[in-house]
Amino acid sequence: MDFKRILFIQSLVVFNAYAWADQTIKVAINPAPTDEGQIILALCTQKTFPHEDRCEVRKIVPAKVAKEPIALKAPAAGRYAMLVVNDVNGNNKLDVNLIGIPKEPVGVSKNPALRFGPPRFEDVAFDVSDTPQELVIDLKQAGK
C-alpha cells in the first residue's frame, strides 16, 4: 500500500470514530413532575454554572413530557453540571425570592443537599465522553 492510501484510510477511521461519538445524556427526573408548567434542562460548564440561562445547552420541554427520560446532547466531551428546573409558571427561568432562594423545584447533577446558595461546580460536575450516559436528578423545593 502506498503512503497516500494509508493516510486516507487513517483519516476515514478518525472521522468515523468522531462521527460515532455520542455525547447524549438522558435525564430522568425524580419525582416525575406534575403536568404543570415546563421543565428546563441546562448543561453547564464551570464558566456558566449555576446560571441556567447562560449554560451551553438549554432544553425546555412541557412538564408532562418529563415523566420519561429527556435526552440532550453535549456540544463536546468535557466536564459539565446539569441543572433541572420545574418552571411551574412557564416564564422560561428559575424564579427566586429577594435573597435568591428558588421559588420553584430545582435539581442538580449528583443530587447534593441544597443548602445556602448553589452547590460548588466541583461537587456536581460529571464527565461527558463519547458514550451515552444517564442521570437521575432529584427535584427539590427550597424550604421543604
> Per-domain residue ranges for the chain?
22-138
In order along its 144 residues, the chain shows pLDDT tens digits of 564 454 444 544 444 344 445 899 999 999 988 888 999 999 999 999 999 999 999 999 999 989 999 999 999 999 999 999 999 999 999 999 998 889 999 999 999 988 878 899 999 999 999 889 999 999 998 766
Which CATH code fits 22-138?
2.60.40
Whole-angstrom distance, CA of residue 133 vs CA of residue 95 = 29
Cα–Cα distance list, 127 to 44, 93, 132, 133, 134 (Å): 12, 25, 11, 10, 12
Whole-angstrom distance, CA of residue 96 vs CA of residue 121 = 20
What pTM was computed for the model?
A: 0.81
First to last CA, the chain: 69
- Cβ density class 72-107: b for 16+ within 10 Å, e for less: bebeeeeebbbbbbbbbeeeeebeeeeeeebebbbb
pLDDT attached to residue 38: 96
The three-class DSSP label of residue 30 is strand
For 101, phi then psi, to 5°, come to -80, 130
What single-letter amino acid sits at 2? Answer: D
pLDDT attached to residue 22: 81
